[in-house]
Amino acid sequence: MTVTPDGGADATGRQAELIGHRRALLTRPDARTDTVPLPVALRSLVSATGIAIQGLVRFVYSLLVGRTLPAGFLSATNSAISTALLATLLWPTSIGAAAGKFLAREAGDVELRMTLTHYLARLCLLTSAALGLGAGLLTYFVLVPGELLTGALVALLTVGWSGYTFVRGAHYATGRVLRATVWDVLSFVVAVGGLVLVLVFDLRAWLLLPLTVGYLLYTVAGWPRSRRGRIEPALRAEINRFVAWGVLGSLATAGFLQLTMLLAHQTGDVLSADAYAAALTLATPASMIGAVLSLLLLPALSGAVGRGDLATVRRHTDTAQRTLIVMVGGVFGVLVVGSRLLVAFIWPQLSAAVPVLELLLVATFLLTVSTAASESIRSYSEHGARMVALIRGAGLLVGLGVAVLLIPHLSVLGIATGYLVGMSITGLLPVLLVWRRDRHRWGMLMLRVLAGAALGAGLVLLRSRVPGPGWLDVAMVAGFAVGWLLLHGRDLLAVVRKSVRTPSQG
């Protein structure tokens, strides 16, 4: 085996064996095998199902807690979950991204893949244990003083979520998208079914246990086979740098979102904190789209980079960007215009969540549509990972500064405003950089996006002048959907045709 200038390895080893999805479901994951690639349309559908299921876990959790327990439990539960998720962003989440990138890039050498899997798995175990202990102690001594059980559950949830992100990254890198989604469904059943039992028997101190068990089950069942071996120093250094820069990038995006929940809880305003938790619950499923799309895009782009096929990288980036804007833009627009109706249906006692939800959704849209551009930049080299991390770091610093300045005047609305400002920087800069670097023909596409945004803003302004919610809200949602389809109809047809005709490259 030889090492390439960027720290990777030439494909001089044995190629990974291709196996069927049924075998992949019934056997323990193994870096020596890849599953037969699914067509792009089916792969996207399966992945979208995984996104929906994972988004539903947090949503249903918050819905059941918020609708059945007294005021304060919703924000307290979400704050504890945010503490665990924030801890995982300090290293393990980026290890999952590294698995998606490097296991896909080194598909030509299965022995190296086995060694890399062992190295990343061991790193995940060590860091998640340390961070779980830290999150538990922080909860016990600072966030919820004296609550030993809550601290212990936060620690275990940190370990479970860390393992989940690594296992899911390894699954996507080896083509096990269907297996990943099946286990998403099973973990959802465990988490939600367990929560129902906790609520029925009024075991309020154990609210976090079902969610923790769900993620731990996913981790144990999907932990991949691996083998200890030697990794070239250049490749090890590249992985460590990729992870380190990924930590900064993750903290500045997903970490920022979780941090806003902690800030809202610490304001001491129970009703406002519950309203923020409700808005965050509704925005969280949408915020997960970018994370799962990264799992899809990064292995595909990194594999193409490993083959030296930069034309494929450009083509994948262009298709993914157009798909994100057409599909995700329409969904987010409908949610923003229909936010008053949505909150009234799910959280009728928390109408203050509407403006917060609108800001969080716009911010999450900006972050999500930058996914294709960000992963294109990161797939090229470690320098790309550094650039993305620095952009996201700048967004975090500016957004957090704005939030801190506005909290005394606007309370939780100021926190949401700061998050929007930060995500504007984080979301727009990567798109502009890739647009210029690869000379994409996105000019008319972006003009149509601006027209759609103006339509949505106008409808929201009109809605604010009419008492509600009511049938006018439904009409405005339908009007936005029709307007968006008229603006992006040709792009939508092109995306569908390309997805159906093009085989997946894994």
- Write down which residue in 203, 231, 259 finishes a domain: 231
Query: What share of the chain has pLDDT > 90, as a percent?
Result: 59
Decide which of 490 and 496 is more confident.
490
Establish if 109 belongs to a structural domain. yes
Position 180 pLDDT exceeds 90: yes
Structure-token pair, residue 461: 């302004």
Domain final residue, candidates 198, 231, 264: 231
**pLDDT for position 217:** 97
- Residue 7 has what pLDDT? 38
Return the pLDDT at 499. Answer: 58
Q: Is 226 helix (H, G, I), strand (E, B) or coil?
A: coil
For residue 287, which of 398, 174, 368, 401 has the smallest C-alpha distance?
Answer: 368
- Average pLDDT across the chain, whole number: 88
Dist CA 505 CA 40 (whole Å): 8
* CB count in 10 Å sphere of residue 186: 15
Q: How far is CA 243 from the centre of its chain?
A: 16
Last residue of a domain, one of 166, 197, 231: 231
Domain range for 18:
12-231
Instruction: Note whether 88 and 250 are within 8 A (CB).
Output: no
Indicate whether 315 belongs to any domain: yes
Beta-bridge mates of residue 18: 34
The two structure tokens encoding residue 26 = 């019934």
Buried-exposed string 203-230: b where 16+ CB fall within 10 A, e elsewhere: eeebbbbbbbbbbbbbbeebbbebeeee
What pLDDT does 376 receive?
A: 87
Q: Which spans in 381-411 are helix H?
A: 382-410
Q: Is the pLDDT of residue 3 over 50?
A: no
Look at the block and give the residue holding tokens 């969080």. 360
Q: Compare 348 and 292 and report the one with higher pLDDT.
A: 348
Output the six-digit token pair for 35: 């599953």
In this predicted structure, the answer to whether residue 498 has a pLDDT above a threshold of 70 is: no
Question: Is residue 129 pLDDT above 50, yes or no?
Answer: yes
Residue 258 lies in a domain: no
Give 63-71's long-range contacts (Cβ < 8 A, gap of 24+).
63/281, 63/346, 64/192, 64/195, 64/196, 64/199, 65/195, 65/199, 65/207, 66/274, 66/277, 66/278, 66/281, 66/347, 66/350, 68/199, 69/199, 69/204, 71/270, 71/271, 71/274
Residue 202, pLDDT score: 95
Average pLDDT over residues 498-504: 54
505 or 354, which is more confident = 354
In this structure, the answer to whether residues 136 and 70 fall within a common structural domain is yes
504 has a pLDDT exceeding 60: no
H or E stretch at 287: helix 270-306
Q: What are residue 34's DSSP bridge partners?
A: 18
Sorted by sequence, the CB contacts under 8 Å of residue 432 that are 6+ apart come out as none
396 compared with 311, residue with greater pLDDT: 396
Tokens of 52: 């929906």
Residue found under tokens 């995306």: 495
Least confident of 178-187, 287-296, 343-352, 376-385: 287-296
- In this structure, are 221 and 290 located in the same domain? no
315-323 average pLDDT score: 84
CA distance 463 to 112: 58
Lowest mean pLDDT among 352-366, 374-388, 485-499: 485-499
- The answer on pLDDT for 5 being more than 50 is no
- Whether residues 226 and 289 fall in one domain: no
Q: Does any domain span residue 101?
A: yes
Q: Enter the pTM of the model.
A: 0.80
Query: For residues 440 and 438, what is the distance between their CA atoms, to the nearest angstrom?
Result: 6
Look at residue 190 and tell me whether its pLDDT is greater than 80: yes
Asked whether residue 253 is assigned to any structural domain, the reply reads no
Same domain, 396 and 503: yes
Mean pLDDT computed over 406-430: 95
207 and 313 co-located in one domain: no
pLDDT digits (tens, 9 = 90+) for 433-452: 999 988 999 999 999 999 99
State pLDDT tens for residues 23-81.
999 999 998 999 998 887 788 788 878 877 888 898 899 899 988 998 889 889 999 99
Does 415 map to a domain? Answer: yes
Alpha helices in 307-338, H assignment, sequence order: 310-323, 329-337
Do both 336 and 441 map to the same domain? yes
Instruction: Supply the pLDDT for residue 291.
Output: 63
Number of domains in the chain: 2
**Can you tell me the mean pLDDT for 176-182?**
94
Please report, for the chain, how many H helices and E strands are present, in that order.
Answer: 20, 2
pLDDT in tens, 254-300: 889 889 998 998 876 788 888 999 898 888 776 666 666 665 666 67
Report the distance separating Cα 350 and Cα 432, nearest Å.
Answer: 38
Q: What's the pLDDT score for residue 307?
A: 72
- Could you report the per-residue pLDDT of 452-463, keeping only the tens digit for each? 999 999 999 999
H or E stretch at 220: helix 209-222
* Residue 469 preceded by cis peptide, ω within 30: yes
221 pLDDT tier (thresholds 50, 70, 90)? very high
Helices within 4-109 (DSSP H only): 21-26, 40-68, 73-88, 92-105
Instruction: Say whether both 192 and 294 belong to one domain.
Output: no
Q: Predicted confidence band at 121 (pLDDT cuts at 50, 70, 90)? A: very high
* Residue 351 clears pLDDT 60, i.e. is over it: yes
* 432 token code pair: 């502009």
DSSP secondary structure letters along 134-182: HHHHHIIIIISTT-HHHHHHHHHHHHHHHHHHHHHHHHHHTT-HHHHHH
Q: How confident is the model at residue 258, as a pLDDT?
A: 87
Same domain flag for 220 and 302: no
| Region 479-505 average pLDDT | 76
- Both 340 and 470 in one domain: the answer is yes
Local confidence band at 318 (pLDDT 50, 70, 90 cut-offs)? confident
Domain shared by 115 and 215, yes or no: yes
* Sole residue written with tokens 């006018």: 472
Same domain, 327 and 458: yes
Burial label, 471 (beta-carbon count in 10 A; 0-12, 13-18, 19+): exposed
* Residue 302 in this model has a pLDDT that exceeds 80: no
- Count of beta carbons in the 10 Å neighbourhood of residue 302: 25
In-domain check, residue 242: no
**Is 105 within the bounds of a domain?**
yes
